[in-house]
Chains A and B, each alone.
Chain A
Amino acid sequence: MSTTPARLSPNRVPFDAGRAAYIGLNLVLLAFLLLPIAIVLVFAFNPMPYISFPPVGISLRWFDKFFSSSDFMNALWLSLWVAGCVLVLAVLIGGACALALARGNLPGRSFLTAFFMSPLMLPAILTGLALFQSYLLVGIGRPVWGLIMAHTLVAVPYVLRTTLAVLHNFDRRIEEAAAVLGASPTRVFFEVTLPLIRPGVFAGGVFAFIVSFDQFPVSLFLVVPKGETLPVVLFNYMKFDLDGAIAAASMVSILLAIAVVLVLERLIGLKAYVKL
């Protein structure tokens, strides 16, 4: 035994350089992700009229400015409204697409999948420019529904991907069991298929909402003056004023995104879907 001292204390994990490096790398990545948010938080509550460090105190003046500005509020409501519509549309279109791709026995299925996923691969600024030119060409101008359509185009791949992942792991015997018990194809869909893929579809829906709510490059081309979404308004504001209102607006955006995730988690249990 004396030749193998490590065996004497089997419960103590010996120092492992690889493991330490792994944990260290994760901490660095986490800091890289979260520190900017912490900085925004600091600036949002700092009363100075310009972005400065260290903060001199705590105030809500920037939040007050954000919430009392009709420009910001109109943009916020427009963004929420657009993102809500995009969520619904992306869930319907992406969900249906995923079902057709996974179940439809379509020829050229992998090509179609790549095609529907392609908005993810194109630079969004290109998508925005292309849509802007197309809308001009067709002569529809830049209506809100055009913006919603554009966001939906970019958001559908997220729903498609999460739904395809669920469908891929789906035991089709469960549907067969329902059919043999007397459920028509329609009833099989509503009684079995839909409830079982719902977590995947809604996880995609959350992404769709956030992608739309955060969308800047596509929106840039498709909004009209006085009808701009929050990211565009913030960008324009930043060009001339760089005060804490930007930070306050960012905090509100972050909190809204978290709220959406939490509400959906409560409603449908995204936990079932963490293995995304």
Chain B
Amino acid sequence: MSSAAIKLDQVTKTFDGKVIAVDGVTLDIEAGEFFSLLGPSGCGKTTSLRMIAGFEQPDSGRVHVGGQDITDVPVHKRDMGMVFQSYALFPHRTVAENVAFGLRMRDVPKPEIARRVASALAQVALTGLEARKPGQLSGGQQQRVALARALVIEPRVLLCDEPLGALDRKLRQQMQFELKELQRRLGVTLVFVTHDQEEALAMSDRIAVMNQGKVEQIGSPTEIYEKPRTRFVADFIGEINLLDDGPKPRALRPEKIRLGPAAEARLAGTIETANFVGGATLYRVRAADNRAFLVRETHAGERAPRAAGDAVGLSWNDTDTVSLEG
């Protein structure tokens, strides 16, 4: 399967002439990359994806796929695969007919359609369910049909709009692994829209964190987590302590803070709450100067060794803090 790079060049989209959904976004997505658009609802991630798909036309800026300007190419000629949050399966067609749809639109000969549908269904472990209607499938199975339907046309680009959002936690995790594995095996460029930072960190090669129509930061999951550039990114990804005592705000991850005897520490404080999260405990500590800190302490499976009301000392290395732009 060949894959293609995607480039958004200063793309802007306004709705009803006033609501700015996407504001001058530039993205360079490499061929074969697992790229996530991450942000809260209304940040413009879905609109960006819909502009790549061709459902929305940018007010200004260009969209390139595989080095070719496709801004004016209609949806049905873009040759992309897409998986929707609601799956958007054809309810009046069987599983096999759903998967065959894209091939039929491409006038692929019937024997080849049958062969490719069978292999696509095998790929997502749905062999045997060909004759079912989508309404007779579980959410996870519908998700797989949607995936098979998108992949069977061997698209250059696979677009996913919160595809795992409707699944329960366990199934979602399993599908995360499967999707990631499938993407790596096929080498397809995958653009993944999500508001779930854990999901984005777990699956992506690179992440673009979006806020209010703009890209706040682009980087690998480690970069985004370890070196957030803005207060928004630091706050949106995982738990964070914001230190406002210097000339610039700084961010400090809860696991970078050590708890110990108050005498040898930077700050003295009292534990307010202790949340056992399995293998680690997340403490909320009230420091002597009345600031609240989140501290994550890992331990070997035992329940929290400290309890609310315990006096503790907080220490950290200055090298573990990250300066933020604002």
Chain A residues packing against B (C-beta within 8 Å): 171, 173-174, 176-185, 187-188, 191-192, 195-196
User: Which of under 10, 10 to 19, 20 to 34, or 35 or more describes the interface residues of B?
Assistant: 20 to 34
A180's partner among B81, B90, B92, B106 (CB-CB below 8 A) is: B81
Q: Which residue of B lies closest to A179 (CB)?
A: B75
Give chain B residues whose Cβ lies under 8 Å from the Cβ of A182.
76-77, 79, 102, 105-106, 153
Give chain A residues whose Cβ lies under 8 Å from the Cβ of B309.
none
Given A173-B84, A173-B88, A195-B92, verify A181-B102 contact (CB < 8 Å): yes
Q: How long is the Cα–Cα vector from A191 to B105 in the complex, in angstroms?
A: 10
Give chain B residues whose Cβ lies under 8 Å from the Cβ of A185.
76
Q: How long is the Cα–Cα vector from A176 to B102 in the complex, in angstroms?
A: 12
18 additional A-B pairs beyond A176-B88, A185-B76, beta carbons within 8 Å, are A171-B86, A173-B86, A173-B88, A174-B91, A176-B53, A176-B55, A176-B75, A177-B82, A177-B84, A177-B88, A177-B90, A179-B75, A180-B53, A180-B81, A181-B76, A181-B105, A181-B149, A182-B76
Given A171-B86, A173-B84, verify A180-B75 contact (CB < 8 Å): yes
Q: Which residue of B lies closest to A185 (CB)?
A: B76
A selection of 5 A-B contacts at a CB cut-off of 8 Å is: A174-B88, A176-B55, A179-B55, A180-B80, A191-B101
Whether B78 sits at the interface, judged by CB under 8 Å, is: yes
Q: How long is the Cα–Cα vector from A195 to B101 in the complex, in angstroms?
A: 15
User: Min CB distance, A182 to chain B, in Å?
Assistant: 4
Q: How long is the Cα–Cα vector from A171 to B75 in the complex, in angstroms?
A: 18
Q: B residues 133-160 with Cβ under 8 Å of A? A: 146, 149-150, 153, 159
Give chain A residues whose Cβ lies under 8 Å from the Cβ of B74.
184
Q: B residues 62-89 with Cβ under 8 Å of A? A: 74-82, 84, 86, 88-89
User: Min CB distance, B108 to chain A, in Å?
Assistant: 10
**Residue picked from A179, A181, A192, A196, most chain B C-beta under 10 Å:** A181
Interface residues of A, dominant DSSP:
helix
User: Min CB distance, B201 to chain A, in Å?
Assistant: 27
Give chain A residues whose Cβ lies under 8 Å from the Cβ of B150.
181
Give chain B residues whose Cβ lies under 8 Å from the Cβ of A177.
82, 84, 88-90, 146, 149
Tell me whether B105 and A196 are in contact (CB under 8 A). no
Give chain A residues whose Cβ lies under 8 Å from the Cβ of B146.
177
**Residue picked from A171, A180, A187, A196, most chain B C-beta under 10 Å:** A180
Q: How long is the Cα–Cα vector from A183 to B93 in the complex, in angstroms?
A: 15
Give chain B residues whose Cβ lies under 8 Å from the Cβ of A188.
76
Tell me whether B101 and A178 are in contact (CB under 8 A). yes
Q: Which residue of A lies closest to B99 (CB)?
A: A181
Q: How long is the Cα–Cα vector from A155 to B75 in the complex, in angstroms?
A: 37
Give chain B residues whose Cβ lies under 8 Å from the Cβ of A196.
91-92
**Residue picked from A178, A185, A188, most chain B C-beta under 10 Å:** A178
**Residue picked from A173, A184, A191, most chain B C-beta under 10 Å:** A173
User: Min CB distance, B77 to chain A, in Å?
Assistant: 8
User: Min CB distance, B217 to chain A, in Å?
Assistant: 29
User: Min CB distance, B52 to chain A, in Å?
Assistant: 11
Give chain B residues whose Cβ lies under 8 Å from the Cβ of A192.
90
Give chain B residues whose Cβ lies under 8 Å from the Cβ of A187.
105
Q: Which residue of B lies closest to A187 (CB)?
A: B105
